[in-house]
Amino acid sequence: MKKIYFILLLAFAFTLSGQDTLDRNSEKTEISGFKLYPNPTYNDIVYITTKDNASKDIIVYDLFGEIVLKERTTYKDLNISKLDAGVYIVQVTENYKTTSKKLVKK
């Protein structure tokens, strides 16, 4: 019986340490200083700023996972006038780092 508890304890500890490693790696791939505003928005323009404000690849997905907008820009503003009111996922890639945020257009 002690062997079973020991094995379960090792498995639990291994699982926790594996999750901890994944969390640390995800922090390294996040874009520092990432902001998406205003959110929610009533306008046709949202602003995406980062610490570096370098060239960005932006992909906007609807809730079905379909790409509804794709753009590469060096500007801070993103024209979303083509999007209907709804909830979207904005994925931004800058300097080989990627961050995703939810965007609500009303």
Q: Based on the structure, what is the number of domains in the chain?
A: 2
**pLDDT tens digits, residue range 40-88?**
999 999 999 999 999 999 999 999 999 999 999 999 999 999 999 999 9
Strand pairing partners for 72? 57
Same structural domain, 53 and 9? no
Run of H or E including 16: helix 2-29
Same structural domain, 56 and 71? yes
Same structural domain, 46 and 84? yes
Residue 29 has what pLDDT?
75
Same structural domain, 3 and 43? no
Same structural domain, 44 and 90? yes
Same structural domain, 47 and 70? yes
The owner of tokens 């994944």 is: 22
pTM of the complete model: 0.72
Is the pLDDT reported for residue 14 higher than 50? no
Q: What is the CATH classification number for the domain harbouring 56?
A: 2.60.40.3080
List the domain range (segments joined by +) for residue 48.
31-105
